[in-house]
Amino acid sequence: MKASLCRPSELNASDLELWHSFQRATDALAGPFLTPEFACAMSERRSDMRLAILEEGGKVVGFFPFERNAFGIGRAFCYGLSDMQAVVHAPGYEWDGVELLEACGLAVWEFDHLIAEQVRHFAPQEYSPRASPVVDLTDGWENWIARKKASRRIKRSREQERKLVREHGPLRFALDSRDPRHLAQLMQWKSAQYRRTGRFDRFARRWFADGTRRLFESRTDDFSVELSVTFVRDRPASFCLSLRSNGILTGWFPAYDMDLAPYGVGTIHLRHLLMHAARNGIRLFDCGAGEERYKQTFRDFDIGLARGTLRRNAAIAVAHHLQRTPRKLATEFVLSRPSLRKAARRALLLIGTLRSRLHPG
């Protein structure tokens, strides 16, 4: 294996087309988080993000975006922010994870959304499975909604929508708003949600906010960002920022007006999003990994993902393992026990409430 390292933005037109051809050839690699457009936009303001162009016998056989610090500690590209990670490769290409890390100058590689099909290639010392619920719209909206006719949650959502219209006015849905003011509103609502729930505000990272804006402004035949909006009396009530490629739409950032939360406006939005998406060429809607109730309501099947770590036999890798082990054990202990997981969420909500009172707005 030969790996040539570069910035994603340094790829030429033939590299981009080859990357897209690898995605089109393998269903598991077709998702929008694995596109070169996503890699280029998100890495523009990050000096630690790199791309390995993999070659065998003088031919390019794969693309591997990753993050790397000065000590050779690596993470999956856009770790914690990307809902899918992988080597995008030619059909049938096989590789060894340790050899790949060595070629990229990495002693350690951490991942949190690696596609399950590639776990065997990397053979990590530690990994745990996770699932990303998917809505299958291949047979069209009418057939999908007919399959869900017994769902109490979907029936309840329709009732809430009727109540919302009666009490607040007519509802209108837009599948793909290009208004930057709508994007700004979504980011504000999402930041407020992070503060309210005691979580780190992703949009407080300037590089990430700038990268999201750049994604929103650009689109190609192979990739686009779509911002859906539900309006009530022409006022935005909810948003969902989604990424699209190869007939797959992945929900990335949903947000809604908290004043309308009692009407279940987020679930109302998702119903309309799925209907319009199915009628506009979308065959799969990826909800993203998580156990939220609405994801389980709409899901048809799961995409297998994994979280874990691969280490080479190097001193820095041993030091990294010793430093991270206590925290990982504690995290896994809590996540594996529903009562502790609920208690942790309540603690985060309390922290968010106190933070909002101390720093309103």
> Is residue 115 domain-resident?
yes
Mean pLDDT across 93-107: 95
- Which residue, 286, 303, 320, sits at the end of a domain? 303
| Nearest alpha-carbon partner for 221 in 15, 10, 17 | 17
pLDDT tens, position by position, 176-219: 999 999 999 999 999 999 999 999 999 999 999 999 999 999 89
Give, in order, the Cα–Cα distances in Å from 353 to each of 71, 259, 287, 341.
Answer: 38, 17, 27, 19
> Is residue 209 domain-resident?
yes
Mean pLDDT across 319-344: 53
Do both 308 and 263 map to the same domain? no
Do both 184 and 325 map to the same domain? no
pTM, two decimal places:
0.87
Q: Is the pLDDT of residue 330 over 50?
A: no
- Which residue, 303, 321, 340, sits at the end of a domain? 303
Looking at residue 125, what is its pLDDT?
86
Do both 142 and 229 map to the same domain? yes
Percent share of the chain, pLDDT over 70: 87
Do both 44 and 126 map to the same domain? yes
Percent share of the chain, pLDDT over 90: 81
- Residue 30: other Cβ atoms inside 10 A: 20
When divided into structural domains, the chain yields a total of: 2
Do both 146 and 264 map to the same domain? yes
Question: Is 351 buried (19+), middle (13-18) or exposed (0-12) by CB count in 10 A?
Answer: middle
Do both 28 and 114 map to the same domain? yes
Looking at residue 334, what is its pLDDT?
45
The answer to whether 274 touches 137, Cβ cutoff 8 Å, is yes
Q: Is the pLDDT of residue 296 over 80?
A: yes
Do both 274 and 335 map to the same domain? no
Q: Is the pLDDT of residue 339 over 90?
A: no
Backbone φ and ψ of 116, nearest 5° = -60, -30
Give, in order, the Cα–Cα distances in Å from 313 to each of 99, 123, 318, 329.
Answer: 11, 14, 8, 22
Per DSSP, the three-state class of 234 is: coil
> Is residue 360 domain-resident?
no
| Nearest alpha-carbon partner for 135 in 296, 281, 256 | 296
pLDDT tens, position by position, 133-153: 999 999 999 999 999 989 999
pLDDT tens, position by position, 150-176: 999 999 999 999 999 999 999 999 999
Q: If pLDDT is split at 50, 70 and 90, which confidence band does 48 have?
A: very high
| Nearest alpha-carbon partner for 77 in 49, 100, 52, 105 | 49
pLDDT tens, position by position, 248-278: 999 999 999 999 999 999 999 999 999 999 9
Do both 128 and 142 map to the same domain? no
> Is residue 355 domain-resident?
no
Looking at residue 291, what is its pLDDT?
87
Q: If pLDDT is split at 50, 70 and 90, which confidence band does 312 have?
A: confident
Do both 221 and 264 map to the same domain? yes
Do both 140 and 125 map to the same domain? no
> For residue 122, what is the DSSP state?
H
CATH of the domain at 282: 3.40.630.30
- Structural domain containing residue 33: 2-132+304-350
Of the candidate ranges 91-95, 127-131, 324-328, the one whose mean pLDDT is the lowest: 324-328
